[in-house]
Amino acid sequence: MRPVKSSEVLKTSKTDVFLVSNLTNIRYLSGVEVSTGFVLIKPKNTILLVDGRYTEAAKKTARKGVKVDDLDSLKKHLKGAKTCAFEAEDVTVARLANWKRKKMNTKFVQSKGVIEEFRRSKEPDELKHFRKAQRITHKMMSRIPKALKTGITEKQLAENIRQWAIELGADELSFDPIVAFGSHTSSPHHHPSSRKLSKGHIVQIDTGARVNGYCADQSRVFFTAAKTPEQKRVYAALQRAKQESEAAIKPGVTNRKIDKIARDILEEENLNKYFTHSLGHGVGLDIHEGVSLSGKAKIQRLLKNEIVTVEPGVYIPGKFGMRLEDEIII
């Protein structure tokens, strides 16, 4: 949930000020999309620091309470601050050294995941944008069956999906679409190729629309012929794993518990060894953010209004793969 007061962030970082450099976090806090800049969180105000390319637009569109100043004024705004948290995963060694060369009388302290934690629980305006992206993605998926004509290539279908997204009102896709035919489906993140669709191919689609920065993410499996007994068994197991893990999702439940529900079901069918990734992940301004639904991830409890994907998959090398995925608003 977006911090209402600067003190909420500084209480977490335990520093005098907090310097935000991650571009997605800058957009989240300020409401302004930039290619370079900072947000400086101080005890009594929040300042968006941008260069001349963004100043005019930023002053018009920045969130209420966010001041806008020139990028070169960072040293001025740090005056009097003894400690400044920075986003360690985003700041390079060279950038940190540059700050120190400017002889700022401030101690820079590494932080990790502070703003990302606030981003997990979504505000009403964020959910509105997400739901629109989700609706558009459903409509895109509904067009797939008619497009599955013998001879179409993976690349051609991927391009169709891109065009549909814009036509239906998205700003863009959340990520490059995954389109796989036949044995290519055993690669979870297959890049579309020139392979042509033939009767009997399984088709795996993974795509999502982006609206006002917010991402949708869905996966579907389509069949161009009657399912084989093995395909029926795998598909049924995935449907059950998805349904039962989704049913258990609620605030307070741990990420590992949800992952285990799906894996236990696949283990009953001797398929868990072919499930090679996490069950799901958080979604928002980034396609992967926040919580990871994985037995290997750090333990996290799910939050109200957090958005997560549930995407069990089975990938049998050289034969086929399947993944079913939807997003859940907790």
pLDDT in tens, 123-179: 999 999 999 999 999 999 999 999 999 999 999 999 999 999 999 999 999 999 999
pLDDT on residue 103: 67
274: pLDDT strictly greater than 70 = yes
Q: State mean pLDDT over 240-265.
A: 98
Q: Find out whether 261 and 245 touch, Cβ atoms under 8 Å.
A: yes
Assign 244 to helix, strand or coil.
helix
pLDDT at 294 over 90: yes
Asked whether residue 2 carries a pLDDT value surpassing 80, the answer given is: no
Supply the pLDDT for residue 98: 87
| Mean predicted confidence (pLDDT) in 319-327 | 98
Runs of H (alpha helix) within the chain: 6-13, 23-30, 55-61, 74-78, 93-101, 114-120, 124-142, 144-147, 154-167, 229-247, 255-268
Write down the pLDDT at residue 63: 93
- Using 50, 70 and 90 to split pLDDT, how confident is the model at 265? very high
Residue 40 has pLDDT above 70, yes or no: yes
Confidence of residue 38 (pLDDT cuts 50, 70, 90): very high
Instruction: Report, as an integer, the average pLDDT of 294-315.
Output: 98
Q: 256 pairs with which residues across the strands?
A: none
What does DSSP assign to residue 53?
T
Ranges of each domain in the chain: 6-118, 124-329
Sheet order of strands, 107-111 included: 66-70, 46-50, 38-41, 17-20, 83-87, 107-111
Kindly state the average pLDDT of the residues 39-45: 94
Q: How confident is the model at residue 100 (pLDDT cuts 50, 70, 90)?
A: confident
Fold classified for 124-329: Creatine Amidinohydrolase (3.90.230)
For 304, residues 6+ apart whose C-beta sits below 8 A from its C-beta are 121, 251, 330
Contacts of 246 (CB under 8 A, 6+ apart): 310, 326, 328
Residue 4 binned pLDDT confidence (cut-offs 50, 70, 90): low
- Tell me the pLDDT of the chain averaged across its residues: 96
With bands split at pLDDT 50, 70 and 90, how would you rate the model's confidence at 76? very high
pLDDT band at 299 (very low <50, low <70, confident <90, very high): very high
Q: What mean pLDDT is predicted for residues 91-115?
A: 89
- Give how far Cα 149 sits from Cα of 146, 196, 203, Å: 7, 9, 12
- In CATH, what is the architecture of 6-118? 3-Layer(aba) Sandwich (3.40)
The Cβ of residue 65 has, within 10 Å, a number of other Cβ atoms equal to 11
